[in-house]
Chains A and B, each alone.
Chain A
Amino acid sequence: MIVEQISVFVENKAGSIEKVTKALADAGIGIRTFCTEDGSDFGILRMLVTDPKKAETVLKNSGFSAFCNKVVAAKCANKTGSLSYLLNKLAERNVSVEYMYAYQDNDEAKVVLRTKDIELCNTIIEEQ
């Protein structure tokens, strides 16, 4: 499934991620999962949230530099080898993964995948 991911520019400084989470909490937006990518002076906080469009507006209006793009959220059975199986299917079609992270959606394990061609990645995943 293709979903909207929201990314926020954060300074490498105490309290900077908290400011983002507080702005979302105050607007009643829940965070399903997140990951951070770290540079030296700054990083990017990537999140899947309950209402991505609203989150983008809320964050921009609160003065954050935020960016919305699409990622694939793939179901991944909770058993040994299932992630490997998924990645193998992508590798077979020469799809390179830029980054990935995981979360639990209700009782299902899910993997967030970012690739250059999101449509192709999604098609391969849906075929499984």
Chain B
Amino acid sequence: MESQYYNQVEIISKDDLRRLQNERLHKTLLNAMNVKFYQEKFKSMGISASDIKSVDDITKLPFTTKDDLRNNYPFGMAAIPLKDCIRVHSSSGTTGNPTVVLHSRNDIDAWAELVARNLYMVGVRDTDVFQNTSGYGMFTGGLGFQYGAEKLGCLTVPAAAGNSKRQIKFMKDFGTTVVHIIPSYATRLAEVMAEEGIDPRKDLKIRILAIGAEPHTEEQRKRIEDLLGVKAYNSFGMSEMCGPGVAFECKEQNGMHIWEDNVLVEIVDPVTLKPVPDGQIGELVLTTLNREAMPLIRYRTRDLTRIIPGDCPCGRTHRRLARFQGRSDDMMILKGVNIFPIQIEKILMGYKELGSNFLITLETFNNNDEMTVEVELGELGTDNVGDLKDLVKDITRQLKDEILITPKVKLVPKGSLPSAEGGKAVRVKDLRKLF
């Protein structure tokens, strides 16, 4: 009988995991001492790699931030000679230098193993046809999933981003069974299928979706599953850690197992930077444990999440991350209130009358900051403007209960807001005058 685990490390005992982590952390710190940035940082804090006896000592170590990576652009964070690196990825930097991540051959193999492990976990096998709708190139969602699905032995379809009609044609003609896709594009594809007269349940063979790279709600996942007749599993990755593969949901669909043989996980209070106990929300901080080219120590991901306490029925011993609560840096502050776009999305997704695209605009009117939420109407269920006005009122009230500020809600026609063909959808426009 085939094993339900791709790698036996998935069910490693807590004691063995700790031993493995101690060993790998030690190696990581020695490796990090090849990086000038870490040499200087350690020296200035008066610590050395040998002071760290076990993972319990992790809090003695300095944090690494995205700015540190930018300041060491392009190859300042390399721990091995460039001749031993075989690939460089870079994340989309909106301001200043992009962040660059180097990979050795072993890094690429380890990354592919993580992705293969994830796909196997949700039932993907070598008999599957795997279509990747991620952008390829410098974005890790392309090659990351490509190598992982190949390692697993799937027939891979590197369709890349965009061109919805062609995506659907490949799905149909190649008998695609597994798709990697960002959630907003999954709903967009379902719309195009409807326009093309294609019923995904009858005309296509897709059964599994790996969704990630974009915050989304449980409601949006359910909607995608209903629209396409599939199981959709949440994927978490970031180019700084490797890319997709860092954490992934199992068939329980209740949190993403973060592979603790690969990274050391901490959740810290974003203000005090002190660790919080399992179950409490904070910023995810990760230390690479299995990385040659570019070890990162206590990297601040800016993602807000929590560890789901307790064991998972699937038998895997690696802890689970809850759904992300936004990022500590895309938090909007309006009239002194902290607001995350995901709070607004959660409310909007609760209305079956609404489509999936929305846009939050922050503007200054008469020295007063206001929020407008535009959302696309889905199906029209009435011939009466009054009913739509009631809908707007109801949405406004629900949003106010959630974010404590009364936004102006506008219904707009389908197709009039940015959707996510080939990239992350723009959800927030900040046009405020800053004084």
| Residue contact A63 to B385, C-beta cutoff 8 Å | no
Residue of B nearest to A45 (CB): B383
* Contact A37:B384 (CB < 8 A) given known A61-B195, A64-B413, A64-B414: yes
The B-contacting residues of A in range 10-41, CB under 8 angstroms, are 10-11, 16, 37-39, 41
Q: How many residues of B contact A (CB 8 A)?
A: 19
The A-contacting residues of B in range 330-386, CB under 8 angstroms, are 377-385
A39 to B382, CA, bound (A): 14
A85 to B195, CA, bound (A): 47
Return chain B residues, CB-CB under 8 Å to A7: 380, 382-383
| Residue contact A65 to B377, C-beta cutoff 8 Å | yes
A61 to B195, CA, bound (A): 5
Contacts A/B (CB < 8 Å), 22 sampled: A7-B383, A8-B380, A9-B377, A9-B388, A37-B384, A39-B385, A39-B389, A42-B385, A44-B385, A44-B388, A46-B383, A63-B195, A64-B413, A65-B380, A65-B413, A66-B380, A67-B379, A67-B380, A67-B383, A69-B383, A98-B384, A114-B383
Not counting A11-B416, A16-B413, A67-B382, a sample of 16 additional A-B residue pairs whose C-beta atoms are within 8 angstroms of each other reads A7-B383, A8-B380, A11-B413, A42-B411, A43-B385, A44-B380, A44-B384, A63-B414, A64-B414, A65-B377, A65-B378, A65-B413, A66-B380, A67-B379, A67-B381, A69-B383
Q: How many residues of A contact B (CB 8 A)?
A: 24
B125 within 8 A of A: no
Interface string of B396-435 (1 = CB under 8 A from A): 0000000000000011111110000000000000000000
Return chain B residues, CB-CB under 8 Å to A5: 383
Nearest 7 Cβ contacts at the A-B interface: A7-B383, A65-B380, A67-B380, A39-B385, A37-B385, A65-B377, A63-B415
Instruction: Quote the shortest CB–CB distance from A65 to chain B (angstroms).
Output: 4
Instruction: Quote the shortest CB–CB distance from A17 to chain B (angstroms).
Output: 12
